[in-house]
Amino acid sequence: MVRSRKGATFLLYFLSLLLILPLKLILSLLFELLSLRKLIEKMKNFIEEVTWRGMLHDVMPGTEEHLMEQMRVAYVGIDPTADSLHIGHLVGVMLLKHFQISGHKPLALVGGATGMIGDPSGKSNERNLLDEATLRHNQEAIKGQLSRFLDFTSDAANAAELVNNYDWMKNFSFLDFIRDVGKHITVNYMMAKDSVKKRLSSEAAEGMSFTEFTYQLVQGYDFLHLYREKKCTLQMGGSDQWGNITTGTELVRRIASGKAYALTCPLITKADGTKFGKSEGGNIWLDSARTSPYKFYQYWLNTSDIDAEKYIKIFTFLSKEEIEVLTEKHREAPHLRLLQKRLAEEITVMVHSKEDLENAIKASGILFGNATADDLKQLDEATFLEVFDGVPQAEIATSEIETGLDIVTVLNEKTGFFKSNGEARRALTANSISVNREKVTEEFVLSAKDLINNQFVLLQSGKKNYFVIRAK
């Protein structure tokens, strides 16, 4: 029924054009219309896709029908509070990618203006404000990361776009804003939002500034602006954003007499109750300088079985059939951790690269005895230190290593790995000492050729006792 309606609408529209436009323009428009028609025919049911993946929390009535009629435009907002996204942003980014795959046009909005204010949603304290130079730097860094997911460069009708609300808010005077926007939304309406009520409740540690109170109006205006300028009819975000998003749909209705829609995804949680996206060192970032590919890979590899079943639907583009087969195999042999491995592989390649994945796998295998000296020497400094985080270390002058040091002296006097020369010799006789994963005897002499990245040597006694030498 939907397809036939689309075809009839397309035909009527084209026939009407024939009556009023010159031939050259008609042919040009026909080409565009045919391109759009092809796009429409390839369209997937976006709502259906995100529903089975567990990525749908709430959606306005009529959204599914609206999206199936023709190519639509939707946006997700990201406040550029850092020069990198973290994995907490990934659900919104994945929503945009699925939206694009479904044949629609995604907009990634970097909140240069809203980032200066701070969103009260889901927060108990006011955010630190950022200056314009910092925000611009963060924006450029974020765009680079988004381009790994979204197609910004093709000439397709649904190519992604990056927009910054600072560009249309910077010249908007306070008086103009409260006159043209503020008068259309009542304080009662704003106070009814959960994000506001929680911050103003008696249990709240601190109140809310006027700056944060206006956040939903500024975000709402973003939606109105994109509705007018980009024909954007859908805003997506986390479930804590529902209040802000619906303020936008209300502004579109009241000021532009239009119809806009809202869709939210669940806030991701972990089965053990700890916060998703956090490790002992803080956020898991997409920037390799903040979180190494090794640590990134390890985060996903160490997820629980329950979480892995949920995450593989959300954070990969594997089909429903592939995931069902993989899940069944995992349940039959959970000790093999098939889900965790596939999840970690898919998302590490997506965020970093295949090469980074291979290095992360090699690094992960080092502590479990299946890595070689060559694997060790391929590790960069940051990854090496992360793999052996917490392992005892000792410094030895580079000049001494270059001259050559006998292994007994290294094991005892220079490192204290063994308490005496006799103890070191007994371990060597028992063939239990390795240097950079290779067994050595008492005749071994440590030299510069043994240095990993020109600065590290890995000592090992037995299977689990490690020691790191750092050349200085």
Say what the pLDDT of residue 124 is. 45
Query: DSSP letter at 89?
Result: G
Q: Taking the CA atoms of 350, 354, 356 and 361 in sequence, report the sign of the dihedral they define.
A: positive
Helix or strand run (H / E) with residue 252: helix 242-256
Q: Evaluate the CA torsion angle 197, 125, 285, 232 in order and state its sign.
A: positive
Pairwise CA distance, residues 233 & 71, whole Å: 11
pLDDT at 133: 82
C-alpha–C-alpha distance, residues 458 and 467, integer Å? 6
SS3 458: strand
Taking each helix axis as running N to C, give the angle between helix 338-351 and helix 293-301, from 0 to 180 degrees, rounded to the nearest 10: 150
Evaluate whether 233 touches 259 at the Cβ level (below 8 Å).
Answer: yes
Residue 359: φ, ψ to 5°:
-65, -40
Average pLDDT, the chain: 85
Which one is predicted more confidently, 7 or 69? 69
* Range scoring the smallest mean pLDDT among 58-67, 415-424, 460-469: 460-469
For residue 360, which amino acid is it?
A
How is the chain split into domains, by residue range? Answer: 1-42, 44-265, 278-366, 389-471
- What would the pLDDT profile of 273-303 be if each residue is shown by its tens digit? 777 877 766 789 999 989 989 999 999 999 9
**SS3 call for 162:** strand
Q: With beta carbons less than 8 A apart as the criterion, state whether 300 and 310 touch.
A: no
pLDDT of 386 over the 90 cut:
no
CB-based contact 265:276 (threshold 8 Å): no
pLDDT band at 67 (very low <50, low <70, confident <90, very high): very high
- Which residues fall within 8 angstroms of residue 34, CB to CB, at 6 or more apart? none
**Cβ atoms of 139 and 163 closer than 8 Å:** no
DSSP 3-state assignment of 76?
Answer: strand
Predicted TM-score (pTM) of this structure: 0.79
pLDDT at residue 117 above 70?
no
Residues 54/313, Cβ–Cβ less than 8 Å: yes
Q: Residues 63, 234: contact at Cβ < 8 Å? A: yes
Amino acid 304: pLDDT: 94
Residue type, 27: L
Please choose, from the candidates 107, 112, 86, the residue with its C-alpha nearest in 3D space to the C-alpha of residue 95: 107
Classify domain 389-471 at the CATH class level. Answer: alpha beta
Give 300: exposed, middle or buried? Use CB within 10 Å, 0-12, 13-18, 19+: buried
Report pLDDT digits (tens) over 320-372. Answer: 999 999 999 999 999 999 999 999 999 999 999 999 998 888 888 777 666 77
Plot region of 273 (φ>0 → left; ψ -120 to 50 → alpha; else → beta): left
DSSP state of 58: E
The topology under which CATH files domain 278-366 is: Tyrosyl-Transfer RNA Synthetase (1.10.240)
- Quick one: CATH architecture of 44-265? 3-Layer(aba) Sandwich (3.40)
